[in-house]
């Protein structure tokens, strides 16, 4: 077969490991041919391709980002987009697609499968919020980057007796904030799943200062105060209907400084969490997902997503994978609350 590979949505460490595994096994074991579609769904939509063989994937295992490029293109928002994709696939002689992405990218893959395109999905999101898989690659790297930042911030916070508010990624799910906060010894963790009381957070901060230590507050970008709204950079929507978040950290720091009388500063980690070399865990997980994905393609098991359940790599229907977000359950947040303010 001639197989197209694309990566869509936000980039993350481990994408290249998936591409490498798909191509290496696809060529060496099954004798398939590959073509890379550039910049997510824009690639098959506009016919943007690049060669993708053994030579092209050598040495990419430790590289962050994606050699194929990415975008947030939604072909279903473009008139005639689906027909154009089908036409370009036929023109390129492409028999099947491996789509690597998160909720939005795999949502497009699901719809295309229902319209007759032969596709297999691989889950990718640093937010770890896809319901059908226990972990997504990129999450472990993002958590470790955030944890290292928190470790460094502890020392400067102590030196200046400041509150430091660390804003991490997490639109609707607070997995990065929860794991990085726990691992980094944060004194308060705020998630999108549970609106917070600013006065209560200020109380935790004051209690921490009473112990002669400076507090670290970790807040997910999608967290919001009680009866409040998400803090937005602007009201513009992307092609999948998402607003651009950002600013909750600065807003919270200003509130805490006003309520406690102690200086508060904000650190927004932003895209630092997406970049750089993937951890060993993410390299191995991404590789295993890629190997299972090309097996599914070779067997003609279309409309499936490969997923990690326990320690096994399994296949689940794409429609199940994108049906609902996996958010942080209350009991996991309750575990973390033990350390708040102490």
Task: Report whether 206 belongs to an annotated binding site.
Answer: no
Task: Report whether 79 belongs to an annotated binding site.
Answer: no
Task: Report whether 274 belongs to an annotated binding site.
Answer: yes
Task: Report whether 272 belongs to an annotated binding site.
Answer: yes
Task: Report whether 103 belongs to an annotated binding site.
Answer: yes
Task: Report whether 335 belongs to an annotated binding site.
Answer: no
Task: Report whether 303 belongs to an annotated binding site.
Answer: no
Task: Report whether 221 belongs to an annotated binding site.
Answer: yes
Q: In whole angstroms, what is the distance from residue 150 CA to residue 219 CA?
A: 12
Task: Report whether 1 belongs to an annotated binding site.
Answer: no
Which is it for strands 49-51 and 33-37: parallel, antiparallel or unpaired? Answer: antiparallel
Q: Which of 11, 39, 104, 127 is catalytic?
A: 127
Helix 175-184 / helix 330-337 crossing angle, nearest 10 deg: 20
295 belongs to the catalytic site: no
Residue positions in the annotated binding site for substrate?
A: 125-127, 162, 169-171, 221, 265, 271-274
The catalytic site residues sit at 127
User: Binding site for Mg(2+), residues?
Assistant: 103
């Amino acid at each position: 077969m001639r197989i197209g590979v694309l990566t869509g949505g936000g980039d993350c460490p481990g994408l290249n490991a998936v591409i490498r595994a798909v191509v290496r096994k696809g060529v060496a074991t099954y004798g398939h041919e590959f073509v890379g579609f550039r910049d997510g769904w824009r690639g098959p939509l506009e016919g943007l391709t690049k060669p993708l063989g053994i030579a092209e994937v050598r040495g990419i295992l430790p590289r962050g980002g994606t050699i194929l490029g990415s975008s947030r293109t939604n072909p279903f928002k473009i008139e005639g987009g689906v027909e154009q994709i089908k036409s370009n696939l036929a023109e390129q002689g492409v028999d099947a697609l491996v789509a690597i992405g998160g909720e939005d990218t795999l949502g497009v893959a699901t719809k295309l499968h229902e319209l007759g395109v032969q596709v297999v999905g691989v889950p990718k999101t640093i937010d770890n919020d896809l319901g059908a898989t226990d972990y997504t690659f990129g999450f472990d790297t993002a958590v470790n980057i955030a944890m290292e930042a928190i470790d460094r911030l502890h020392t400067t916070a102590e030196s200046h007796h400041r509150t430091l508010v660390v804003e991490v990624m997490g639109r609707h799910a607070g997995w990065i904030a929860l794991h990085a906060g726990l691992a980094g010894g944060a004194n308060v963790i705020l998630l999108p799943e549970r609106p917070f009381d600013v006065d209560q957070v200020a109380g935790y901060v004051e209690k921490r200062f009473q112990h002669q230590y400076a507090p670290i507050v970790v807040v997910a970008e999608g967290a919001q105060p009680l009866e409040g709204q998400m803090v937005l950079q602007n009201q513009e929507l992307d092609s999948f209907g998402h607003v651009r978040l950002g600013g909750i950290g600065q807003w919270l720091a200003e509130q805490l400084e006003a309520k406690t009388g102690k200086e508060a500063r904000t650190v927004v980690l932003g895209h630092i969490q997406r970049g750089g070399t993937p951890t060993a865990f993410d390299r191995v997980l991404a590789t295993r997902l890629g190997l299972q994905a090309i097996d599914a393609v070779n067997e003609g098991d279309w409309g499936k997503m490969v997923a990690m359940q326990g320690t096994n790599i399994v296949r689940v229907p794409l429609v199940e994978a994108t049906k609902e977000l996996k958010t942080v359950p209350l009991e996991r947040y309750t575990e973390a609350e033990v350390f708040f303010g102490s």
